[in-house]
C-alpha cells in the first residue's frame, strides 16, 4: 500500500506522532502542544547537544498521555533562509527510515515558520516534503516468500501523513502534480527491479500495455515478424541469440489541442532485458546487475505514465526496443555485418556493444513514422560514462543548445544531475568501418567510449532533428540508499523529462 499524503487547515486528529519542523534556529511551532508538552520538547532540544536542526535530523520526544500523539518528532530542515523544494524533499526522505524504525504509521506534520525573505512558500515546502516521504517509502518486495511477506505486512510502516496548517491551500494542487511524476518513477523502479526471468521482451510488452492502456495511452507492439518486414536488422541481430523473441513497443499520448502545429516529441529507450554481453561475454562478477540494462526503456514507460496521469497537453511518442542479449548457437557474432532499418550496414566488432544497435533501429523507426520535432533517447549504454562521471551525473549529449538549456533547467528543478558531454565529427568518423558503413566499436576502444557510442547514434539522426542522448548507465541503478531514492532501480530521467515536457512542450 502506498503512503497517502494530505493537507488540511483543520485541527490535527490523533496520530502516532506529531512532526514539528524546525530550522537551524531550533524554533519549531509548538502551538499545537499543551504547555507541559511544549516544555518537554524545549527541554529535549536543549539537552540533545547534537541536535542542530540540520536537514533531515530527527529528535524524538515522548509526550504526556493527554497529548493527541504519542510522541513529537522535531524534524530539522536546515537553514530556513536556504530552504528550497529539493531540500524539503530531502528532509522528508531522510525522515522516512527513522519513522519506519519507530513504527510510526500515521503522522501529523507541522511546517516551520519561514523567514520573510524565504525562497519558497510554506505550502510548497509541505508538498515537496510529502513527495520526499513518498519517494523514499518505495520498496520492492514482490519476490519475497510467503512467510517474509506475512512478516513484512505486520511490520508497521508510514501509511498516512497529514500536513497541518492554515497556509496549505496550494499544497494539495502541487502535490497532485508531483505525485504524477512519482507514479511514473515508481513504475520505472518496479520494471528495473524485476528479475530477468520474469521481465523479458514479450512479458515486458504485455506489462506496458496493461499499465498504460487504462490511462488512455495507445500501445502498439511490433513482433519479430513485423520488425523483419520493417528491416530492423540491427535490433533483431542482438535478440537472435535468445530464446525470447524481441519486441518493439510504441506508446502514444496525444494530449495536445488540435490546433497545435508540428510533429510530436519522441522518447526512445534501450530495453535490453538482460545483457550477458553475448558471444563477447561479460565476466561473471556482478553480471546479475545487467537486469537493469532496460533502465532507459523503463524511464520512457514511466514518463508515459506520468504524462498520461496528469493529462499533459502534448503529443508524445514513446518507443522502446526490447531484446535479450544472449550467447547461443544462434547468437550474432563479432565479425557479422548486419543491415539496419536505415539501410546502413554495421560491422559487429563486439556483441556487448548491443544497445546502440537496438537504439539505431528504434530511432530510425520513430523518425520515419512520426517525424518528431525532437527526440530524447535514454540508455544504460556504456561503462565508460561511469568512468567519466561516476554514479552522480548522467551524461547528456545534445545537438541543440536550446534543447540542452531546457533539459538542464528541468533537471535542476527535479534534482537529477546531468552533465553535458560532447558530440563531435571525430566521434562520428571513429565509428566508420573499412568493410561496412559503420562498426559498433570505436577505433580507440575504451577511450572516450561514451562519446563514440553517442557518435554512432548520431549517424541515425536525420538532418534538422533536435536530438539528445542520455547515457544513464551510472544513474539508473544505485547500490545504496539516497534521501529520496532507495537502493536498486532509481527511475532516473522520468522526473526531469516530465518537467521538460511541461515547461517546453505544453
Residue 7: name the closest of 175, 131, 138, 136 by CA.
175
430 binds ligand BES (CB under 6 A): no
Long-range contacts of 426-430 (CB under 8 A, 24+ apart): 426/455, 427/451, 427/452, 427/454, 427/455, 427/458, 428/455, 428/456, 428/458, 428/459, 429/455, 430/455
Q: Please select the residue that binds Zn ion; options are 37, 186, 211, 293, rule is CB under 5 A.
A: 293
Q: Which residues contact 91 (CB under 8 A, 6 or more apart)?
A: 21, 55, 56, 75, 76, 77, 78, 129, 132
Binder of ligand BES out of 17, 20, 238, 384 (CB under 6 A): 384
Residue 304 binds ligand BES, judged by CB under 6 A: no
Residue 348, sorted as left (phi over 0), alpha (psi -120 to 50) or beta, turns out to be beta
Tell me the closest approach of the beta carbon of residue 441 to ligand BES, in angstroms.
Answer: 5
Of the candidate spans 85-93, 114-122, 188-196, 264-272, the one that interacts with Zn ion by CB under 5 A turns out to be 264-272
3-state class (DSSP) for residue 146:
helix
Residue 326 or 441: which CB sits closer to ligand BES? 441
Measured from the CB of residue 310, what is the shortest distance to Zn ion in angstroms? 31
Q: Which does 449 bind (CB under 5 to 8 A by kind): Mn ion, ligand BES, Zn ion, none?
A: ligand BES
With b for 16 or more beta-carbon neighbours within 10 A and e for fewer, the 129-151 pattern comes to bbbbbbbbbbeeeeeeeeeeeee
**Cβ atoms 372, 265 nearer than 8 A:** yes
Instruction: Give the residue closest to ligand BES by C-beta.
Output: 383
For ligand BES, give the closer residue by CB, 77 or 453: 453
Interface residue with Zn ion among 275, 361, 471, 502 (CB under 5 A) is 275
Interface stretch with Mn ion, choices 96-104, 161-169, 236-244, 274-282 (CB under 5 A): 274-282
Q: Between 292 and 410, whose beta carbon lies closer to ligand BES?
A: 292
Nearer to ligand BES, 318 or 449 (CB): 449
How far, in Å, CA of 125 to CA of 167, rounded? 11
Residues 333-372 that bind ligand BES (CB under 6 A): 350, 352-355
One of 16, 37, 190, 352 touching Mn ion (CB under 5 A): 352
Provide the annotated active-site residues: 282, 356
- Binding mask 331-360 toward Zn ion (x if CB under 5 A, else -) reads ------------------------x-----
Query: Under rule CB under 6 A, which residues in 457-496 are in contact with ligand BES?
Result: 473
Q: Which positions ≥6 away from 299 have C-beta within 8 Å?
A: 188, 267, 269, 378, 472, 476, 491, 492, 493, 494, 497
- In angstroms, the CA 168 to CA 127 distance is 9
Shortest distance, position 119 Cβ to ligand BES, whole Å:
36
Element (DSSP H or E) covering residue 106 = strand 106-110
Nearest residue (CB) to Mn ion, 37 versus 275: 275
| Sheet with 438-439, edge to edge strand ranges | 337-339, 345-347, 438-439
Which residues in this chain contact ligand BES in the complex, by CB under 6 A? 275, 293, 350, 352-355, 380, 382-384, 441, 449, 473
In the complex, the residues that contact Zn ion under the rule CB under 5 A are 272, 275, 293, 355
Residues near Mn ion (CB under 5 A): 275, 352, 354
Amino acid at each position: 500500500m502506498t503512503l497517502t499524503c494530505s493537507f488540511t487547515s483543520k485541527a490535527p486528529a490523533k496520530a502516532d506522532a506529531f512532526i514539528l519542523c524546525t530550522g537551524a534556529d531550533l524554533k519549531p511551532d509548538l502551538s499545537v502542544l499543551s504547555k507541559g508538552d511544549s516544555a518537554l520538547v524545549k527541554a529535549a532540544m536543549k539537552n540533545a547537544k547534537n541536535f542542530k536542526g540540520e536537514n533531515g535530523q530527527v529528535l524524538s520526544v515522548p509526550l504526556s498521555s493527554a497529548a493527541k500523539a504519542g510522541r513529537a518528532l522535531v524534524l530539522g530542515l536546515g537553514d530556513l533562509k536556504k530552504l528550497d523544494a529539493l531540500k524539503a524533499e530531502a528532509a522528508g526522505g531522510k525522515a522516512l527510515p527513522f519513522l519506519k524504525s519507530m513504527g510510526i504509521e500515521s503522522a501529523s506534520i507541522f511546517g516551520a515558520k519561514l523567514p520573510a525573505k524565504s525562497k519558497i512558500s510554506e505550502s510548497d515546502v509541505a508538498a515537496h516534503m510529502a513527495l520526499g516521504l513518498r519517494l523514499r517509502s518505495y520498496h520492492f518486495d514482490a519476490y519475497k516468500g510467503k512467510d517474509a511477506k506475512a512478516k513484512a505486512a505486520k511490520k508497521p510502516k508510514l501509511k498516512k501523513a497529514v500536513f497541518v496548517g492554515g497556509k496549505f491551500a496550494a499544497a494539495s494542487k502541487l502535490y497532485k502534480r508531483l505525485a504524477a511524476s512519482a507514479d511514473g518513477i515508481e513504475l520505472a523502479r518496479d520494471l528495473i527491479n524485476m528479475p530477468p526471468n520474469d521481465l523479458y521482451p514479450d512479458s515486458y510488452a504485455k506489462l506496458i500495455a496493461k499499465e498504460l492502456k487504462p490511462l488512455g495511452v495507445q500501445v502498439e507492439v511490433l513482433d519479430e515478424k513485423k520488425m523483419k518486414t520493417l528491416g530492423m536488422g540491427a535490433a533483431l541481430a542482438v535478440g537472435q541469440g535468445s530464446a525470447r523473441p524481441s519486441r518493439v513497443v510504441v506508446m502514444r499520448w496525444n494530449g495536445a489541442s488540435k490546433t497545435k502545429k508540428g510533429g510530436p516529441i519522441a522518447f526512445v529507450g534501450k530495453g535490453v532485458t538482460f545483457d550477458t554481453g553475448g558471444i563477447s561475454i561479460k565476466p561473471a562478477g556482478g553480471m546479475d546487475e545487467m537486469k537493469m540494462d532496460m533502465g532507459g526503456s523503463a524511464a520512457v514507460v514511466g514518463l508515459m505514465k506520468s504524462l498520461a496521469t496528469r493529462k499533459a497537453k502534448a503529443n508524445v511518442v514513446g518507443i522502446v526496443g526490447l531484446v535479450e542479449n544472449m550467447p547461443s548457437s544462434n547468437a550474432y557474432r563479432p565479425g557479422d555485418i548486419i543491415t539496419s532499418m536505415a539501410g546502413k550496414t554495421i560491422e559487429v566488432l563486439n556483441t556487448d556493444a548491443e544497445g546502440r544497435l537496438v537504439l539505431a533501429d528504434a530511432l530510425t523507426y520513430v523518425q520515419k513514422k512520426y517525424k518528431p520535432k525532437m527526440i530524447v533517447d535514454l540508455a544504460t549504454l556504456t561503462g565508460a560514462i561511469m568512468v567519466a562521471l561516476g554514479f552522480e551525473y548522467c551524461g547528456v549529449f545534445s545537438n541543440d543548445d536550446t534543447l540542452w538549456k531546457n533539459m538542464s533547467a528541468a533537471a535542476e528543478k527535479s534534482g537529477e544531475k546531468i552533465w553535458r558531454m560532447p558530440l563531435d565529427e571525430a566521434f562520428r568518423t571513429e565509428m566508420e568501418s573499412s568493410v561496412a558503413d559503420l562498426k559498433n566499436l570505436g577505433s580507440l576502444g575504451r577511450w572516450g567510449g561514451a562519446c563514440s557510442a553517442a557518435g554512432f547514434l548520431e549517424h541515425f539522426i536525420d538532418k534538422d532533428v533536435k536530438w539528445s542522448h542520455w547515457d544513464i548507465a551510472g544513474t539508473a541503478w544505485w547500490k545504496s540508499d539516497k534521501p529520496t531514492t532507495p537502493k536498486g532501480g532509481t527511475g532516473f530521467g522520468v522526473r526531469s523529462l516530465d518537467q521538460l515536457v511541461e515547461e517546453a512542450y505544453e
